[in-house]
Amino acid sequence: METKTNIPTIEEIKKYLEEYGWKFRETTSDGKLVIISPYTLEKEMKGVLVSFKIEGEFVMVSTVGFMKNVSKDFSRNLLAINDHIKLVKIFTTNNDKDNDFDAELGFELWNESWNKETFFAFMDMLALGIEKTIEIISNEDIPHQTDFITYS
């Protein structure tokens, strides 16, 4: 029995985002087409950018500039948050500072799990994960910087 490969496309991501009610724009990163969209925080006049890109057979979705310059002293605290947010994960990224790191929140869907229902479910979990992570890092006083988008 052959398994049908359903490689995701940027056009499908755009279609799903439109159905989800999200506004977005296209840009390039490392020579690849990327979709950028703001997630507006509940009861706030600010948001967090989310990027969507295709890497091989995967859709990669992650925040942009969500937790910058986190002290390495807080790495365990930050990664322990993964137990609270389940389907989406915090992952670290490099920065040029010796004692700090950057972290983003996101998920990957591969070709076998790529469909609208799964995408919407993970987008809901990403939104909940962003809100929960902000709450926890605030309560635990984890020093960081966030590149918020503000609305007037």
CATH of residue 48: 3.30.1460.10
Residue 151 domain flag: no
Give the pLDDT band of residue 87 (cuts 50, 70, 90). Answer: confident
**What range does the domain containing 79 cover?**
10-146
Q: pLDDT band for 1, please (50, 70, 90 cuts).
A: low
Q: Is position 119 within any domain?
A: yes
Out of 78-82, 94-98, 128-132, the most confident range is: 128-132
Residue 142 lies in a domain: yes
Q: Is residue 1 part of a domain?
A: no
Contact 47, 149 (CB under 8 A): yes
Residue 61, domain member (yes or no): yes
Report the domain count for the chain: 1
Name 14's Cβ contacts closer than 8 Å, sequence gap at least 6.
24, 35
Decide if 23 is inside a domain: yes
| pLDDT at 7 (0 to 100) | 84
The predicted structure's pLDDT at residue 150: 87
pLDDT classification of 151: cutoffs 50, 70, 90: confident
The beta strand positions in 30-80, using DSSP E, are 32-40, 46-55, 58-64, 67-71
30: in domain: yes
- 152 within some domain: no
For every residue of 108-119, DSSP letters joined together read EEEGGG-SHHHH
